[in-house]
Amino acid sequence: MSARNHEQWNAQPKLQSGEWVDSKIYSDEEIFEEELEKIWKQMWIPVCHESELKNAYDFRTMTIAREPVIVVRGKDMKVRAFLNVCPHRGNMIERRPSGSFAKGTPSGTPKTMTCMFHAWQFDMKGKCVNITRKEEGYQDRLCESDVGLRELKSEVYFGGFIWVSLNDNINQTVEEFAAGALDSLAPSVNEEPLEVFHYHKAIIDCNYKLWHDTNCEFYHDYLHYHNRITGFNDEYFARKNTGFKGGHVNVGSFEVQYENYEGFHSREELSFPHLPANQWYMIDMFPGVNFNLRGSALRSDIMTPLGPNKVMIEFRGLGLASDSPKDRKIRIDHHNSIWGPFGRNLCEDLIAVTGQGATMASGSESRQILHGRHENETIHDENGMRHYYEEWGRWVGRSPSHPDQPFVEPAETA
Protein backbone atom coordinates (compact mmCIF):
# COMPACT_ATOMS: atom_id res chain seq x y z
CA MET A 1 0.00 0.00 0.00
CA SER A 2 1.33 3.45 -0.82
CA ALA A 3 -0.87 6.50 -0.47
CA ARG A 4 -4.06 5.82 1.47
CA ASN A 5 -7.72 6.63 0.96
CA HIS A 6 -9.91 8.22 3.64
CA GLU A 7 -10.81 4.95 5.32
CA GLN A 8 -7.23 3.75 5.38
CA TRP A 9 -6.02 7.15 6.58
CA ASN A 10 -8.42 7.00 9.54
CA ALA A 11 -7.83 3.36 10.42
CA GLN A 12 -6.33 2.64 13.80
CA PRO A 13 -2.51 2.68 13.58
CA LYS A 14 -0.63 -0.58 13.94
CA LEU A 15 0.56 0.60 17.31
CA GLN A 16 -0.38 -0.11 20.90
CA SER A 17 -2.84 1.99 22.88
CA GLY A 18 -1.09 5.11 24.15
CA GLU A 19 1.26 5.21 21.18
CA TRP A 20 -0.83 7.75 19.34
CA VAL A 21 -3.21 10.52 20.27
CA ASP A 22 -6.26 11.89 18.51
CA SER A 23 -5.58 15.39 17.16
CA LYS A 24 -8.91 16.43 18.65
CA ILE A 25 -7.07 16.93 21.93
CA TYR A 26 -5.20 19.76 20.20
CA SER A 27 -8.18 21.43 18.60
CA ASP A 28 -11.41 20.88 20.51
CA GLU A 29 -12.88 23.89 22.31
CA GLU A 30 -14.68 21.80 24.93
CA ILE A 31 -11.55 19.84 25.77
CA PHE A 32 -9.58 23.08 25.99
CA GLU A 33 -12.01 24.54 28.52
CA GLU A 34 -11.81 21.33 30.53
CA GLU A 35 -8.03 21.58 30.52
CA LEU A 36 -8.13 25.09 31.96
CA GLU A 37 -10.44 23.96 34.76
CA LYS A 38 -9.06 20.52 35.49
CA ILE A 39 -5.36 21.11 34.91
CA TRP A 40 -4.23 24.73 34.67
CA LYS A 41 -6.31 25.95 37.60
CA GLN A 42 -5.18 23.03 39.76
CA MET A 43 -1.39 22.93 39.26
CA TRP A 44 1.66 24.84 40.36
CA ILE A 45 2.67 27.15 37.51
CA PRO A 46 5.94 29.10 37.54
CA VAL A 47 5.00 32.65 36.61
CA CYS A 48 8.26 34.60 36.80
CA HIS A 49 11.63 34.70 38.52
CA GLU A 50 12.42 36.35 41.83
CA SER A 51 15.07 38.54 40.15
CA GLU A 52 12.18 40.31 38.41
CA LEU A 53 11.04 41.59 41.83
CA LYS A 54 14.29 42.44 43.56
CA ASN A 55 13.10 45.15 45.90
CA ALA A 56 10.33 45.58 48.42
CA TYR A 57 7.15 46.82 46.70
CA ASP A 58 8.21 45.47 43.27
CA PHE A 59 5.52 43.63 41.33
CA ARG A 60 4.92 41.50 38.22
CA THR A 61 1.60 40.77 36.56
CA MET A 62 0.52 37.78 34.50
CA THR A 63 -2.44 35.44 33.94
CA ILE A 64 -3.11 31.81 34.69
CA ALA A 65 -6.02 30.20 32.88
CA ARG A 66 -7.40 33.68 32.03
CA GLU A 67 -7.27 34.77 35.68
CA PRO A 68 -5.24 37.95 36.20
CA VAL A 69 -2.50 37.46 38.78
CA ILE A 70 -0.16 39.89 40.51
CA VAL A 71 2.96 38.91 42.38
CA VAL A 72 4.38 41.44 44.83
CA ARG A 73 7.34 41.59 47.18
CA GLY A 74 6.37 42.92 50.58
CA LYS A 75 8.28 45.16 52.93
CA ASP A 76 9.23 41.90 54.71
CA MET A 77 10.79 40.80 51.35
CA LYS A 78 8.35 37.91 51.13
CA VAL A 79 6.77 37.24 47.73
CA ARG A 80 3.00 36.91 47.70
CA ALA A 81 0.53 36.35 44.89
CA PHE A 82 -3.00 37.69 44.52
CA LEU A 83 -5.72 37.84 41.95
CA ASN A 84 -5.09 41.16 40.22
CA VAL A 85 -8.74 42.06 40.65
CA CYS A 86 -10.28 44.79 42.76
CA PRO A 87 -12.99 43.35 45.03
CA HIS A 88 -15.10 46.46 44.47
CA ARG A 89 -16.12 46.32 40.81
CA GLY A 90 -13.73 43.81 39.34
CA ASN A 91 -11.31 46.20 37.73
CA MET A 92 -7.78 45.04 37.11
CA ILE A 93 -5.75 46.68 39.84
CA GLU A 94 -2.41 46.92 38.06
CA ARG A 95 -2.05 47.11 34.28
CA ARG A 96 1.71 47.37 33.87
CA PRO A 97 3.77 44.19 33.37
CA SER A 98 6.12 45.16 36.17
CA GLY A 99 7.08 48.06 38.39
CA SER A 100 7.15 49.25 41.94
CA PHE A 101 4.50 50.38 44.39
CA ALA A 102 7.15 52.24 46.37
CA LYS A 103 6.09 55.45 44.67
CA GLY A 104 2.56 56.76 44.50
CA THR A 105 0.28 56.59 41.49
CA PRO A 106 -2.11 59.25 40.16
CA SER A 107 -4.92 57.64 42.19
CA GLY A 108 -2.95 56.37 45.15
CA THR A 109 -0.36 56.87 47.84
CA PRO A 110 3.04 55.12 47.97
CA LYS A 111 3.48 51.56 49.23
CA THR A 112 -0.04 50.47 48.36
CA MET A 113 -1.69 48.74 45.45
CA THR A 114 -4.32 51.23 44.33
CA CYS A 115 -7.18 50.48 42.01
CA MET A 116 -7.21 53.55 39.77
CA PHE A 117 -10.98 53.28 39.22
CA HIS A 118 -12.25 54.27 42.69
CA ALA A 119 -8.95 54.46 44.59
CA TRP A 120 -9.46 51.48 46.88
CA GLN A 121 -6.08 50.59 48.34
CA PHE A 122 -4.39 47.40 49.48
CA ASP A 123 -1.13 46.66 51.23
CA MET A 124 1.48 44.13 50.10
CA LYS A 125 -0.23 41.42 52.16
CA GLY A 126 -3.49 41.95 50.28
CA LYS A 127 -5.26 43.71 53.13
CA CYS A 128 -7.57 46.52 52.11
CA VAL A 129 -6.29 49.68 53.80
CA ASN A 130 -8.58 52.29 52.33
CA ILE A 131 -12.10 52.44 50.97
CA THR A 132 -12.69 55.94 49.69
CA ARG A 133 -15.72 57.65 51.32
CA LYS A 134 -16.39 54.43 53.20
CA GLU A 135 -18.73 55.79 55.90
CA GLU A 136 -20.69 57.88 53.45
CA GLY A 137 -21.29 54.97 51.13
CA TYR A 138 -21.31 51.85 53.26
CA GLN A 139 -22.03 53.28 56.75
CA ASP A 140 -21.19 50.32 59.03
CA ARG A 141 -22.27 47.63 56.56
CA LEU A 142 -18.88 47.02 54.93
CA CYS A 143 -15.36 47.73 56.07
CA GLU A 144 -11.78 47.12 54.92
CA SER A 145 -11.50 43.76 56.63
CA ASP A 146 -14.37 42.46 54.48
CA VAL A 147 -12.74 43.25 51.16
CA GLY A 148 -9.15 41.99 51.13
CA LEU A 149 -7.63 40.67 47.94
CA ARG A 150 -7.83 37.01 47.04
CA GLU A 151 -4.44 35.58 47.97
CA LEU A 152 -3.08 32.70 45.91
CA LYS A 153 -0.76 29.92 46.96
CA SER A 154 2.81 30.77 46.04
CA GLU A 155 6.30 29.42 46.55
CA VAL A 156 9.80 30.34 45.48
CA TYR A 157 11.46 27.16 44.31
CA PHE A 158 14.09 25.86 41.90
CA GLY A 159 16.66 28.56 41.43
CA GLY A 160 14.31 31.36 42.40
CA PHE A 161 11.31 30.72 40.16
CA ILE A 162 8.02 31.94 41.61
CA TRP A 163 5.31 29.31 41.42
CA VAL A 164 1.64 30.12 41.86
CA SER A 165 -1.45 27.97 42.06
CA LEU A 166 -5.06 29.06 41.73
CA ASN A 167 -5.99 25.99 43.75
CA ASP A 168 -6.35 26.91 47.43
CA ASN A 169 -6.55 23.23 48.27
CA ILE A 170 -3.46 22.04 46.47
CA ASN A 171 -2.02 19.45 48.80
CA GLN A 172 1.56 19.38 47.50
CA THR A 173 4.54 21.65 47.79
CA VAL A 174 6.26 22.48 44.52
CA GLU A 175 8.98 20.02 45.48
CA GLU A 176 6.39 17.28 45.94
CA PHE A 177 4.69 18.31 42.69
CA ALA A 178 8.01 18.05 40.83
CA ALA A 179 8.46 14.50 42.15
CA GLY A 180 12.20 14.51 41.51
CA ALA A 181 12.04 15.83 37.95
CA LEU A 182 13.98 18.98 38.88
CA ASP A 183 16.64 17.18 40.89
CA SER A 184 19.13 16.77 38.05
CA LEU A 185 19.55 20.53 37.77
CA ALA A 186 18.84 21.54 41.37
CA PRO A 187 22.54 21.69 42.43
CA SER A 188 23.34 23.87 39.43
CA VAL A 189 20.50 26.36 39.84
CA ASN A 190 20.43 26.46 43.64
CA GLU A 191 24.12 26.99 44.30
CA GLU A 192 23.93 30.78 43.99
CA PRO A 193 21.27 33.34 43.00
CA LEU A 194 20.22 33.48 39.37
CA GLU A 195 19.12 36.47 37.36
CA VAL A 196 16.92 36.82 34.29
CA PHE A 197 18.72 38.52 31.40
CA HIS A 198 16.41 37.71 28.51
CA TYR A 199 12.69 37.92 27.87
CA HIS A 200 10.60 37.76 24.76
CA LYS A 201 7.28 36.25 23.90
CA ALA A 202 5.69 34.40 21.02
CA ILE A 203 1.99 33.94 20.38
CA ILE A 204 1.65 30.98 18.08
CA ASP A 205 -1.38 29.44 16.43
CA CYS A 206 -1.04 25.97 17.87
CA ASN A 207 -2.18 24.10 20.93
CA TYR A 208 0.05 24.48 23.98
CA LYS A 209 0.67 20.74 24.11
CA LEU A 210 2.25 20.80 20.67
CA TRP A 211 4.93 23.17 21.96
CA HIS A 212 5.36 20.99 25.03
CA ASP A 213 5.67 17.92 22.77
CA THR A 214 8.41 19.66 20.81
CA ASN A 215 10.30 20.27 24.03
CA CYS A 216 9.73 16.65 25.10
CA GLU A 217 10.92 14.89 21.97
CA PHE A 218 14.35 15.26 20.40
CA TYR A 219 13.59 13.21 17.29
CA HIS A 220 12.88 16.62 15.76
CA ASP A 221 16.59 17.49 15.94
CA TYR A 222 16.51 16.65 12.23
CA LEU A 223 14.88 20.08 11.98
CA HIS A 224 17.97 21.80 13.36
CA TYR A 225 21.19 21.96 11.37
CA HIS A 226 22.88 23.27 14.52
CA ASN A 227 21.85 20.31 16.64
CA ARG A 228 22.71 17.75 14.00
CA ILE A 229 26.20 19.07 13.53
CA THR A 230 26.93 19.67 17.23
CA GLY A 231 25.26 16.44 18.40
CA PHE A 232 24.29 13.27 16.57
CA ASN A 233 27.04 11.07 17.94
CA ASP A 234 26.93 7.92 20.05
CA GLU A 235 26.76 9.91 23.26
CA TYR A 236 23.85 11.96 21.94
CA PHE A 237 21.86 8.89 20.93
CA ALA A 238 22.43 7.36 24.38
CA ARG A 239 20.77 10.29 26.21
CA LYS A 240 17.98 8.98 28.39
CA ASN A 241 14.37 10.18 28.52
CA THR A 242 13.11 9.65 32.04
CA GLY A 243 9.52 10.05 33.18
CA PHE A 244 8.66 11.22 36.68
CA LYS A 245 5.43 10.95 38.59
CA GLY A 246 3.02 13.69 37.56
CA GLY A 247 3.78 13.65 33.84
CA HIS A 248 7.16 15.37 34.09
CA VAL A 249 10.05 14.30 31.88
CA ASN A 250 13.79 14.74 32.15
CA VAL A 251 16.06 14.44 29.13
CA GLY A 252 19.57 13.38 30.10
CA SER A 253 22.71 15.17 29.12
CA PHE A 254 25.69 14.76 26.83
CA GLU A 255 28.61 16.91 25.74
CA VAL A 256 27.64 19.25 22.90
CA GLN A 257 30.35 19.92 20.31
CA TYR A 258 29.65 23.61 19.80
CA GLU A 259 32.83 24.15 17.80
CA ASN A 260 31.33 22.07 14.99
CA TYR A 261 29.04 24.98 14.13
CA GLU A 262 31.09 27.64 12.38
CA GLY A 263 31.38 30.74 14.55
CA PHE A 264 30.36 28.98 17.79
CA HIS A 265 32.65 28.10 20.68
CA SER A 266 32.80 25.88 23.76
CA ARG A 267 30.77 27.05 26.74
CA GLU A 268 33.00 25.32 29.27
CA GLU A 269 34.34 28.51 30.81
CA LEU A 270 30.93 29.65 32.02
CA SER A 271 29.28 26.37 32.96
CA PHE A 272 26.67 26.60 35.68
CA PRO A 273 27.90 25.31 39.07
CA HIS A 274 28.38 21.55 39.32
CA LEU A 275 27.77 21.11 35.60
CA PRO A 276 30.42 19.38 33.51
CA ALA A 277 31.53 21.24 30.38
CA ASN A 278 29.02 21.81 27.57
CA GLN A 279 26.34 19.60 29.05
CA TRP A 280 22.72 20.02 28.05
CA TYR A 281 19.81 19.03 30.26
CA MET A 282 16.12 19.47 29.55
CA ILE A 283 13.27 19.23 32.02
CA ASP A 284 9.65 19.27 30.91
CA MET A 285 7.15 19.92 33.65
CA PHE A 286 3.48 19.04 33.35
CA PRO A 287 1.36 20.72 32.07
CA GLY A 288 3.45 23.18 30.01
CA VAL A 289 6.73 24.39 31.47
CA ASN A 290 10.24 23.76 30.30
CA PHE A 291 13.68 24.29 31.82
CA ASN A 292 16.59 23.90 29.46
CA LEU A 293 20.21 24.26 30.55
CA ARG A 294 22.88 24.38 27.88
CA GLY A 295 26.02 24.63 30.00
CA SER A 296 26.23 28.37 30.43
CA ALA A 297 22.64 29.58 30.06
CA LEU A 298 19.33 28.46 31.51
CA ARG A 299 16.21 28.90 29.42
CA SER A 300 12.67 28.65 30.68
CA ASP A 301 9.53 28.41 28.58
CA ILE A 302 6.33 29.26 30.41
CA MET A 303 3.21 28.62 28.43
CA THR A 304 -0.11 30.40 28.73
CA PRO A 305 -2.79 28.61 26.70
CA LEU A 306 -4.99 31.19 24.98
CA GLY A 307 -7.29 28.87 23.06
CA PRO A 308 -7.37 25.38 21.57
CA ASN A 309 -5.19 26.67 18.77
CA LYS A 310 -3.32 29.54 20.38
CA VAL A 311 -0.59 29.67 22.97
CA MET A 312 1.63 32.36 24.38
CA ILE A 313 5.13 31.21 25.21
CA GLU A 314 7.30 33.43 27.39
CA PHE A 315 10.99 32.77 26.88
CA ARG A 316 13.45 33.72 29.59
CA GLY A 317 17.19 33.39 29.75
CA LEU A 318 19.00 33.25 33.07
CA GLY A 319 22.57 33.46 34.25
CA LEU A 320 24.28 33.82 37.59
CA ALA A 321 23.50 37.03 39.47
CA SER A 322 27.22 37.27 40.28
CA ASP A 323 28.21 37.48 36.59
CA SER A 324 30.72 40.15 35.63
CA PRO A 325 29.50 42.33 32.74
CA LYS A 326 31.91 40.49 30.44
CA ASP A 327 30.69 37.04 31.50
CA ARG A 328 27.09 38.15 31.27
CA LYS A 329 27.62 39.32 27.69
CA ILE A 330 29.08 35.94 26.75
CA ARG A 331 26.25 34.12 28.50
CA ILE A 332 23.69 36.23 26.65
CA ASP A 333 25.39 35.44 23.35
CA HIS A 334 25.38 31.74 24.17
CA HIS A 335 21.68 31.87 24.99
CA ASN A 336 20.50 33.98 22.10
CA SER A 337 22.65 32.54 19.33
CA ILE A 338 20.50 29.42 19.64
CA TRP A 339 17.38 30.37 21.58
CA GLY A 340 16.85 34.06 20.95
CA PRO A 341 14.16 35.33 18.55
CA PHE A 342 16.94 35.69 15.97
CA GLY A 343 18.76 32.51 17.03
CA ARG A 344 19.55 29.40 15.02
CA ASN A 345 17.05 26.98 16.56
CA LEU A 346 14.07 28.68 18.17
CA CYS A 347 12.43 29.99 15.03
CA GLU A 348 12.80 26.56 13.42
CA ASP A 349 10.87 24.98 16.30
CA LEU A 350 8.21 27.67 16.09
CA ILE A 351 7.82 27.28 12.33
CA ALA A 352 7.32 23.55 12.83
CA VAL A 353 4.64 23.79 15.52
CA THR A 354 2.85 26.45 13.50
CA GLY A 355 2.61 23.88 10.73
CA GLN A 356 1.12 21.42 13.20
CA GLY A 357 -1.28 24.08 14.45
CA ALA A 358 -2.45 24.72 10.89
CA THR A 359 -3.30 21.08 10.23
CA MET A 360 -4.96 20.67 13.61
CA ALA A 361 -6.92 23.92 13.77
CA SER A 362 -10.28 23.90 15.49
CA GLY A 363 -12.82 22.13 13.35
CA SER A 364 -10.27 20.23 11.32
CA GLU A 365 -10.72 16.53 10.74
CA SER A 366 -9.37 14.34 13.53
CA ARG A 367 -6.16 12.54 12.74
CA GLN A 368 -3.81 10.30 14.59
CA ILE A 369 -0.61 11.79 15.89
CA LEU A 370 1.99 9.10 16.42
CA HIS A 371 3.98 8.86 19.63
CA GLY A 372 5.09 5.28 19.06
CA ARG A 373 8.90 5.34 18.78
CA HIS A 374 10.65 2.93 21.15
CA GLU A 375 14.42 3.26 21.45
CA ASN A 376 15.16 1.97 24.92
CA GLU A 377 13.93 5.26 26.41
CA THR A 378 16.76 7.19 24.79
CA ILE A 379 16.72 10.52 23.04
CA HIS A 380 14.58 9.63 20.00
CA ASP A 381 12.21 7.41 21.96
CA GLU A 382 8.81 9.05 22.30
CA ASN A 383 8.27 7.76 25.81
CA GLY A 384 8.34 11.32 27.14
CA MET A 385 5.20 12.23 25.22
CA ARG A 386 3.53 8.92 26.10
CA HIS A 387 4.29 9.60 29.77
CA TYR A 388 2.87 13.12 29.51
CA TYR A 389 -0.35 12.03 27.83
CA GLU A 390 -0.99 9.30 30.35
CA GLU A 391 -0.98 11.99 33.03
CA TRP A 392 -3.04 14.31 30.84
CA GLY A 393 -5.69 11.59 30.47
CA ARG A 394 -5.74 11.10 34.21
CA TRP A 395 -6.45 14.80 34.91
CA VAL A 396 -8.92 15.44 32.09
CA GLY A 397 -10.61 12.06 32.39
CA ARG A 398 -10.41 11.39 28.67
CA SER A 399 -8.44 8.88 26.67
CA PRO A 400 -5.79 10.75 24.64
CA SER A 401 -6.25 8.26 21.78
CA HIS A 402 -10.04 8.27 21.97
CA PRO A 403 -10.96 11.53 23.70
CA ASP A 404 -14.67 10.79 23.61
CA GLN A 405 -14.01 7.80 25.84
CA PRO A 406 -13.00 7.94 29.51
CA PHE A 407 -9.38 7.54 30.53
CA VAL A 408 -8.47 4.05 31.69
CA GLU A 409 -5.30 3.39 33.63
CA PRO A 410 -2.88 1.46 31.40
CA ALA A 411 -2.54 -1.35 33.93
CA GLU A 412 -6.28 -1.92 33.76
CA THR A 413 -6.14 -2.12 29.96
CA ALA A 414 -3.54 -4.88 29.97
Partner 1 sequence: MSVNSAETVEKIKSLIYKTCLYQDDCEWKSWLDLCSTDFNYAIRAYSPEIQKDMEYMGGPKEYMESITGQLRKHNIDDSPLKRHGVVYRVDLAEDNKSATSVTSLTVFQTLLGGNSSHVDSGTTGIFLVGRYNDKFVIDGDDVKFIEREVRLDTRRLDKGTHWPI
Give the C-alpha separation, 327 to 29, whole Å: 46
Amino acid identity at 239: R
* Alpha carbon distances (Å) from 277 to 182, 234, 272, 298: 20, 17, 9, 14
Residue among 388, 380, 374 at smallest CA distance from 221: 380
- Considering only the stretches 22-30, 140-148, 202-210, 365-373, report the one whose residues sit in contact with partner 1 under the rule CB under 8 A: 202-210
DSSP 102: S
| 197 forms part of the interface with partner 1 (CB under 8 A) | yes
Smallest separation (angstroms) from partner 1 to the CB of 168 = 27
Does residue 215 bind partner 1 (CB under 8 A)? no
In the complex, minimum distance from the CB of residue 38 to partner 1, in angstroms, rounded to a whole number: 28
Which pairs count as long-range contacts for 21-24, CB under 8 Å and 24+ apart, including other chains?
21/368, 21/369, 21/371, 21/389, 21/400, 21/401, 22/366, 22/367, 22/368, 22/369, 22/400, 22/401, 22/402, 22/403, 23/359, 23/360, 23/364, 23/366, 23/367, 23/368, 23/369, 24/366, 24/403
Of 96, 120, 97, the closest CA to residue 107 belongs to 120
Query: Which residues from 290-309 bind partner 1, rule CB under 8 A?
Result: none
- Regarding 200 and contact with partner 1 (CB under 8 A), the answer is yes
Does residue 325 belong to the site contacting partner 1 (CB under 8 A)?
no
| DSSP 8-class letter at 85 | B
State yes or no: residue 323 binds partner 1 (CB under 8 A): no
Q: With respect to partner 1, which residue has the nearer C-beta, 49 or 80?
A: 49
Interaction of residue 52 with partner 1, rule CB under 8 A: yes
- CB of 327 or CB of 333, closer to partner 1: 333
Following DSSP, what letter does each residue of 7-58 receive, concatenated?
HHHHSPPSS-TTSEEEGGGGT-HHHHHHHIIIIITTS-EEEEEGGGS-STTE
Nearest-approach distance from CB 356 to partner 1, in angstroms: 10
Nearest CA among 8, 4, 98 for reference residue 55: 98
For CA atoms 398, 353, 332, 69, the dihedral sign is negative
| Closest to partner 1 by CB, 241 or 292 | 292
Nearer to partner 1, 144 or 314 (CB): 314
Q: Which residue lies nearer to partner 1 by CB, 120 or 339? A: 339
Q: Which of 68, 148, 343, 372 binds partner 1 (CB under 8 A)?
A: 343
- String marking each residue 87-126 x if it binds partner 1 according to CB under 8 A: ---------xxx----------------------------
53/185 with CB nearer partner 1: 53
Shortest separation between residue 56's beta carbon and partner 1, angstroms? 15
**Binder among 193, 341, 397, 410 for partner 1 (CB under 8 A):** 341
Please report whether residue 347 would count as binding partner 1 according to CB under 8 A: yes
Residue 32 or residue 315: which is nearer to partner 1 going by CB? 315
- Which residues sit at the interface with partner 1, rule CB under 8 A? 51-52, 60, 96-98, 196-205, 223-226, 261-263, 316, 329, 332-333, 336-337, 340-344, 346-348, 350-352, 354, 357-358, 361
